[in-house]
Structure 1
Amino acid sequence: MREAKPVRAQLSLVDRFLPVWIFVAMGSGIALGQVVPAIGPALDAVKVGEVSLPIAIGLFWMMYPVLAKVRYGKLGEVVAKGRLFGASLFFNWVLGPVLMFGLAWLLLPDLPHYRTGIILIGLARCIAMVLIWNMLAKGSDEIAAVLVALNSVFQILFLSVLGWFFLSVAPGWLGAEQTAFHVSMGTIATSVFLFLGLPLIAGATTRGVLVRWKGEDWYENRFLAKVGPTALLGLLYTIVLMFAMQGDKIVRLPLDVVRIAIPLGIYFVVMFGAAFSISKWLGFSYEETAALSFTAAGNNFELTIAVAIGIFGIGSGEALAGVVGPLIEVPALLALVHLSLWLQRRLFSEGASGGVEQRSVDRGVEKACP
């Protein structure tokens, strides 16, 4: 029996050193903000909704190749997976907010502004960058896309209600001060449309038109081979700009950053571990388990920052908590990508992870993406 390659050897050169590129991007962004202090206000001068236009461009650039990869013809099969969607709703809209609320009060009892920002992060479920992590972990693109769409709908419908409950009602049960909270459905809908709707429309249109014109094989092995790797460039571009705009706060308040980082780090590990363990126990395949676990662990920091600035102001502690979020999430979820690939080898057989036939279909797509 041929000995399987270790996880690191399975990754491409780009993927193998992805942590290096991401930390370089984060450091470059902070350094750029320090050297050119005016860059933050300049980048934030033009906005789409509540988001800087350069950031919005980066998010589209990051998302489009991933959503162009999704096999939309399989979405009907995905929607039929009732247990999986039930599990996703539980992780994202029950366990996630409750866990973050508990960690915020447990670890930040003396810092109400940061505590509120942390709670907001727990309420804003991921609709963008999670597709990158799922792709790198070789989870199901189709399932991740549907779960992200489900999160988008729930954010539009319930974020205001959950924000009111966890900030204005639940603290009263602890005998603590309550926080007024109101955010319009329009703000949330705009965020969802920018970060998911536009790249989703572009990706689906591209696949539909090019597959009809050039065929499935050409699209999977030629077009995606050129377009897929640009998702990583979009990710690094977005990280550089994000930290250039907000990095001064991170440099000025290092101890505060550490206090905010502790509950976030615990949250990512616990959410991923719980989702992965329960998904495996429920008998889901590896591709399903990875997609469910990363969508459960990720959060929508763009929306958190927009809401925090809109309600509490750009210089608020709530906004700083939102800014620190990606600083912790990016390396944490990148580490979880490697853990997920390692667990695939240890816990899932060929059959459990989709079968030989499906893996052969996916292999051409994997070559196309970072």
Structure 2
Amino acid sequence: MALSRADTSTLGRWWWTVDRWTLAALLSLVGFGYVMLLAASPGVAERIGASSRDMFILKQVFFLAAATAVIVVISVLPVKQVRRLALLGCLGALLLTMATLSVGVEIKGARRWLHLPGVTIQPSEFMKPCFAVVAAWLLSEGKNWGIKAHGALGLLFLAIVAVLAKQPDMGMLMVVASVFCAQLFVVGINIFLVGACGVVGILGAVGAYFAMPHFRDRLNRFLDPASGDTYQVTVAMEAFGHGGMLGVGPGEGRLKAMLPDAHADFVYAVAGEEFGLLVCLMILGLFGFIVLRGLLRLLGERDMFVILGATGLLTQFGLQAFINMASALHLIPTKGMTLPFVSYGGSSVIAVAIGMGMLLALTRRRISRSAQDEE
């Protein structure tokens, strides 16, 4: 793209202020998403009886293309518009997530999805990035609004925790809580309150173990594989071993046909079998680069809202990727969480794109706070 630094158009100012390295890394992940879609989805489409395998694939191609557009469009927004978008998105997603409890589709014992004409969405996916930015805004306004800002944030967080626990979606709850704790740490919360949050988290996990059979079974199978069905994890580990260093080649994997969630939760295992260890390390490196690059971008930042918002978005992005890859490698108990931009799933892809678009918008270089406000 040949744009002069003297170009004062919206596109020109965006190009010279956005973090182009992070943008390139994100687009590379989208590219991996296309490749893994072609590798993992056909077999899954046939197994689940999709009416048209091509439509199954084209649907995700559309979502990936839309995600690319979403990243770019949102990254152009000024900081104030990002804040407004996050607030509206968080409240809307929370209301829709509440609606899943009464009119949602139940899958595997959980109500997390809403059926809309032609599409099924998971509203809580959109709540994650929006809440990270809203929490950053309310925390940064604490000095001006005092207890009002902190009270509003506390009520919002408790509402989100309650609805996610009711669905139930413990993985999503853990990610949201972890992001919130990371932001509290950055803003400088009292160490005793940090300890109290840790105790509450431990007690919550213990309570979930005894109150939720699904959660208890997954943890028991992780600690003692002989205690239950570990079929998917076993096949995933075989896929990594079969792929070796360079993989068996695109489309040549055989174990992916045995993985029910090869296109989603275990897409990293498909990458391991067909493309090998080197490509898996490349994917891991891209996620690590985006997170570290984003944090380094904040070193000279003085706006606390930008610091907290970007920290929350990066924590969420990195944690979601870690959970997916670590589950496939049997490093943690299995959890149905997608690998950002690589796994199949429209809600996840678009929601992550919204978060990364916000990240790019928040971390754009600005000459001064006054110039930032003018935008």
Q: Establish whether TM, by shorter chain, passes 0.5.
A: no
In the superposition, the TM-score normalised over structure 1's length comes to 0.31
Instruction: Select the structure that is richer in helix.
Output: 1
Higher-Rg structure is 2
In the superposition, the TM-score normalised over structure 2's length comes to 0.31
